[in-house]
Amino acid sequence: MFGVPRSGTKGLARALNLHPNVLCARERFDHRFDHSQVTFPDSFLDEPRIMNRLQRRKFRELQTTASGKRDILFVGNKYPRYYLTLERINEQVPDLRNLLIYRSPYGFMPSWNRKEREHKRASWLAGEVGLFGFLELLVCLQKVSRRKDVFVFPYDLGLNESVEPILAALDFIGADPTSFDLATFAAKHMPRKAADVRRLPLQHNELELLEALEVRQLDEVLCRSGGVMTSELASELDDYMGSIRSSLPAVIDAAFAEAGNPAVVYYGAKFIDGNRRELADLLEMTAGSEFMAALQRFGPWRKLKYAYLQRSYLSSRLGSLTRRRTS
């Protein structure tokens, strides 16, 4: 299961785990892992030799969830950026069920921006702002539009308003929807949750980008009641991507020109450099953008400077945590 980061993948994984025959891990494997080597239960429940604190917490949660199930028939893993290597993972795991959660950029971009603002104490990187989340969404849509077997789960409707999408997702997986713990799901997700008071408003340049690229139109296509298969969306996704192609480079340049955060360029160059093959379609689609071209020309010394900044932020964060424990 995957989706642009901050799109509700954790919430959907926990919801799926309310079914007695389903076990969905959280980031047990990443998108670069060789999934042909994954077996159950060993790969999921054998304790890794090396884990950081966050990985340890997720592993303990997975163990606890698994221990409460007597008959696990469907196992999976949620990792937001699976779309970067979607084709390869599907080749490694025949008959894989691909589940994508879609959240509007109007929703996930503010979440990215809040995490970036708090990056010194959050698991986030300086410069990793919501505008990059939108670029990742384009990558995701390019990848899934080539497949007919991806189930698109609507975030707002499915985790805040209606039980229909989660039941449809379970049916897609192959699990019996009638065995789902509907009462617990409804108690946790219905009615719609109150707005997050920490939510940051979108900036003028971000709103202009979303409006110029008619993202509301995209939301209507992908947020259909009950979820939808990409086989039913192929022509509409192609039409949307085609409609924004000519204007995209200029819109990107205008939006990033007003980002006002010097770390943005460093992060963008690092992300492209580390995923150049996976981002080939995006780089071709944004040809003509001065900002994207600048990221690809980024010199080694600037990348080293960004790495130094990140280490400084991490040292500052660790020092703060140490002072809190000793105070």
Cβ atoms within 10 Å, residue 178: 8
The 10s digit of each residue's pLDDT in 157-198 is 999 999 999 999 999 999 999 999 999 999 988 776 666 667
pTM above 0.85, yes or no: yes
Q: Count of residues for the chain? A: 327
Tell me the C-alpha distance between 126 and 293, whole Å: 21
Q: What pLDDT does residue 301 have? A: 60
Q: Residue 165 in contact with residue 157, Cβ under 8 Å?
A: yes
Q: What pLDDT does residue 306 have? A: 61
Q: Where exactly are the structural domains of the chain? A: 78-326
Residue 325 has pLDDT above 60, yes or no: no
Q: Residue 27 in contact with residue 82, Cβ under 8 Å?
A: no
List residues bridging with 22 in a β-sheet: 74
Tell me the C-alpha distance between 313 and 324, whole Å: 17
